[in-house]
Every structure is written in C-alpha cells, then in structure tokens.
A and B are shown apart, each in its own frame.
Chain A
C-alpha cells in the first residue's frame, strides 16, 4: 500500500530564511508525487508535481522539490520564505489517474 510520511508536524521559520519540508513515501512502482498547500479553511492548491524526467521540479510561488528515489524522498524547498507562505503543506503520492494518498501535513509558521 502507498503511504506518505511528513515527519515535521509544525515548522517555524523567519521571513527571508530558507525552508525545507520533508516528505518520504512508500510506493511499489514509480510514484507520482505532489505538494499541495492549504490555507486555513480553504481548499488545496497544487504547488508542484513529479511524474518523470528531471528529478528537480520547479513549482509556483518559488517552490521546488527534488525526487530522490534512493531515499524515497520528495522534499520541498524555498530559498526565501515570505509571510504569505504560512499555511499547511501536504505531500501526496499517487499512481496516476488522480487518486492520491496524503501525508499528515506540515504547518508552516513564518515569523517577522
């Protein structure tokens, strides 16, 4: 069965600092990997996705993620965090056809 682990429940960073959110997955075949962001009371917005090819993927809002098959990881990064990035971030894995399994989420707090 597929699963996703986000080991950090809550992360606090200073505005302008770099950010890395960790994600480890378990999947029997080549995974489709996603990062979503959710603001309080809102739906999900796709930040980026990996299907195949270049293991470093660029997303919206200056985010990027790197797929490392050997480590079963898909960590999300941003070089300089903005206050508006405060939200909950979900890593997800799927096998295509849009059905995904979500991690437990990491809540990001940004301090001035």
Chain B
C-alpha cells in the first residue's frame, strides 16, 4: 500500500522552513527521500533505516519514527533550488530480507519564491 505524504503542496519564500511528512500503514524497514524537478529524474536526498542509521546530504535532515511508521523531511532556510516534488519511498521488512524495493508516496510539491 502506498505511503501517504502531507502536505500535498507547500509554497515558501526563500529562507523559510518546511516539513514534509510520510506515513505508512505497514511496519517499515527503511524510508528513502527523493526530489524530482519537472521533466527530470528523481534525485536521492536521504535514507533512514530502522534502528537509526541514516545517510544523506548535510543540508537536509529527516527523522524516522519506527513505532508510528512515519518519517519527516526537514527543509530549513529554503533556497530557490529546493523547488520540486518530494517523494518518500518506503520499504517494508519482509522476513528480514531487504531488496531496496520501494513503494513511493504521491509526492509533495514544494515551491520556493524569491
């Protein structure tokens, strides 16, 4: 089942902060975050694993609440280049085997104005 992202869209001015949430009804093993600009391929931002490990860019942070099956992406001091659609991809832990098989949310459209 597809994770649910909120909000669906957000409009910011440069320098403002935003939080994008991703919620799943399934127990999660990992959450991946990607950003996609119009007409381009998704670009990797963050990976968060059950147990606390994470990997990603220095200027972007995220959290993963395993009990609630939720993840949040924090965008601080936004820049024009942050505009795009943000997707979370979730992986459920099927018997302890991971394949990197991701189920993506519907996306959150972020627009940053000068």
A is bound by B = no
Residues of A whose CB lies within 8 Å of any CB of B are none
What is the interface of chain B, defined by CB distance below 8 A to chain A?
Answer: none
